[in-house]
Chains A and B, each alone.
Chain A
Amino acid sequence: GAGVSQSPSNKVTEKGKDVELRCDPISGHTALYWYRQSLGQGLEFLIYFQGNSAPDKSGLPSDRFSAERTGGSVSTLTIQRTQQEDSAVYLCASSPAGGQNYGYTFGSGTRLTVV
């Protein structure tokens, strides 16, 4: 597609349930990033995928969070046993390569609300 696509755009879930958030990057972009945007807190890095290399998971806040990227394209971020503090907008971005000089293209995000 022309841009980074994320689904769903909004998700309301009950505390303790698992959720899956999907990101479809721009075709041909080898790098994919997940960030979390909490109210008044800016953007928090979660995880980075580059081609077939092992992902950088250093930003995942707990072991309830995991992500995978299948076939070097679509990525899924999974949050298990959701907590209210997980409520945020989850943003996905992609870039042509793993270097910063290319800049990121962001999706519109998934707004997660845990009730």
Chain B
Amino acid sequence: AQSVTQLDSQVPVFEEAPVELRCNYSSSVSVYLFWYVQYPNQGLQLLLKYLSGSTLVESINGFEAEFNKSQTSFHLRKPSVHISDTAEYFCAVSDSGAGSYQLTFGKGTKLSVIP
């Protein structure tokens, strides 16, 4: 069985400051890792994913996450946040085996960007 822990339920940060949203996972097998973002009253949108290869993955809006196998972490970072980044962020893990399809989600981190 897999599990995901998002260590912070809420993270307030001033505009243009850096932010890190923490995610740790537990799994006995190789994994795929994902970050999803949920803006108010909307569904979840895929932000970025790690499948294989380079451990550093980036999104189109300036977020990045690094897969650290030894620490079983996949923290999300952005060097300078904008008001529009205010949202809830979910980390998710999946077994990387063939035919695997079920995502296990963390409980989410609410990012509030303060003007």
Interface residues in chain A, defined as those with a beta carbon under 8 Å from any beta carbon in chain B: 4, 31, 33, 35, 40-43, 45, 48, 50, 56, 91, 93, 98-101, 103-109
Contact = CB atoms under 8 A, between A and B. Distances in A.
Interface stretch (B39-47, B62-70, B73-81): B39-47
A48 B44 contact: no
Contacts of A40: 9, 107
Contacts of A35: 105
Interface of B: 4, 9, 32, 34, 36, 41-46, 49, 51, 90, 92, 94-96, 98-108
Contacts of A93: 43-44
A98 to B, nearest CB: 5
A103 B44 contact: no
Contacts of B100: 99-100
Contacts of B101: 31, 33, 48, 50, 56, 98-100
A91 B44 contact: yes
Q: Among B44, B92, B102, which residue has the most Cβ atoms of chain A within 10 A? A: B44
B3 to A, nearest CB: 10
B96 A4 contact: no
Nearest to A43: B105
Contacts of B46: 103-105
26 contacts: A4-B43, A33-B101, A35-B105, A40-B9, A42-B108, A43-B44, A45-B103, A56-B101, A98-B99, A99-B98, A99-B99, A99-B101, A100-B32, A100-B94, A100-B95, A100-B96, A100-B100, A101-B51, A103-B34, A104-B44, A104-B103, A106-B36, A108-B41, A108-B42, A108-B43, A109-B43
